[in-house]
Structure 1
């Protein structure tokens, strides 16, 4: 569920805040006591807790490398640089927007991960291996839908291994870098289209200033308000977000 994914992200922050020496000592003592107790069921409570904490630690890397977050945040950063304002909007604003858009786009996949992997494991009806296999299936399917065969072939050629017979046989460790390369390619393609109108405005303003003999006036001083006004008039943020959502169709 999306709410559970948000809880996971909050849990990462809580783990960082609570990682004090006193808290760590108490956690270690409690873990030792629980480990000494006899195990019951398919997986013990200690094993489940350890796995959940491990997942919380790798959630940021998972979000960046295996979801739509990478493409979205790169495009939003390029929009910011197109204006010539590298600090506006702030990083926290762009990251938050990218996270919520990622949650919106990945909602069906995250629901499948929860139904096929997380929930059965937390309920004790599936082992750790079964939960990992069930959870990785929807993620793998999503990445295969947005990865070119050329990128997968490149990764396997670098690894000097033969290509698998079917797409489902592609190893996850080789699919992730291929997926990242494709996301960067698409993000830079979208960013190039976005940069062109802003570059045209800069060239026109620079030419006008040069023809008027105002060589001491920085073109950025004149072009920045014009670019911001143009972006507002065409409702630029809506167009960018709509284009990003459409690129995953």
Structure 2
């Protein structure tokens, strides 16, 4: 539960800092610097709240999990089973499990001191982002990182891997995760494809031209996946892929 409250703590701390300043709406006509700055902070807070789910997906292991599970469902041939809610929930809890050390460091070094008014918002932001930067650097492919680093250098930016800007690291990490998700998905779909080919060959040889092979192969694919304890193998392999 502590991990789930991490981002809520960040938002609560920001709200506390913003509410500490009184907003004099009556004097907004005089373009008070404090008032304008506070209003901008409130708009920024609302913007962060609206994109918080996207931020969770971009900087964590969620992308790899949901792609693998979606390809698994398509490979078996099931349209809506397991339901999207089940796959997303499982992916989220697996993400919390894998990201637990990262969340703990971000909470202890950044969120908690900020809530206790021990550090400023700028320092807290750096401390919160450092664990996520470390996680992404340890999982991003060098080729993908070099792509965005070269693009940044073409615009005159200086790129150092240890202190790389998140605007460079996050997209590189995301395309790395998408690629790995498709690699895992290929390995998942391959045995189901073999079953489809075998069933299609048998039905064609028996002259059952009007019977779709997928109708016959579906129960065999489900039985195969259950017999090999597929969920245990897949979830364990996905979690270990981040160690």
TM-score category of the 2 structures, normalised to the smaller one: 0.7 to 0.9
Aligned to 2:106: 113
Q: CA deviation at 1:168?
A: 1.1
- Alignment gaps of 5+ in structure 1: 12-30, 37-45
Deviation of 1:247 (Å): 0.8
What is the CA–CA distance in structure 1 between the aligned matches of 2:66 and 2:113, rounded to whole Å?
Answer: 33
Match of 1:214 among 208, 211, 229: 208
The 5 Å alignment of 1:7-26 reads none
- 1:155, distance to aligned residue in structure 2 (A): 1.1
95, 118, 126: which one aligns with 1:133 = 126
Gaps of 5+ in 2: 12-18, 25-37
Normalising by structure 1, we get a TM-score of 0.80
Aligned residue pairs total: 219
2:23 is paired with a residue whose SS is helix
Q: How does 1:32-71 map to 2 (within 5 A)?
A: 34-36=22-24, 50=42, 55-71=48-64
2:91 counterpart residue number: 98
Would you say 1:86 and 2:79 are equivalent positions? yes
1:74 corresponds to 2:75: no
1:202 aligns with: 196
Q: Which residue of 2 aligns with 1:177?
A: 171
RMSD, aligned CA: 2.6
Deviation of 1:139 after TM superposition, in Å, equals: 0.5
* CA-CA distance at 1:165 after TM superposition: 6.3
Q: Following the alignment from structure 2 to structure 1, what is the Cα–Cα distance between the partners of residues 181 and 170?
A: 16
**After TM superposition, which residue ranges in structure 1, 4 or more long, deviate above 6 angstroms?**
none
* CA distance, structure 2, for counterparts of residue 94 and residue 147 of structure 1: 24
Deviations 1:76-108 (A, max 9, x none): 100000011121111111000000000010011
Residue 132 of structure 1 aligns to a residue whose secondary structure is helix
- Contact 1:73/1:98, CA 8 A, preserved across alignment: yes
How far apart are 1:4 and its partner, in Å?
Answer: 1.5
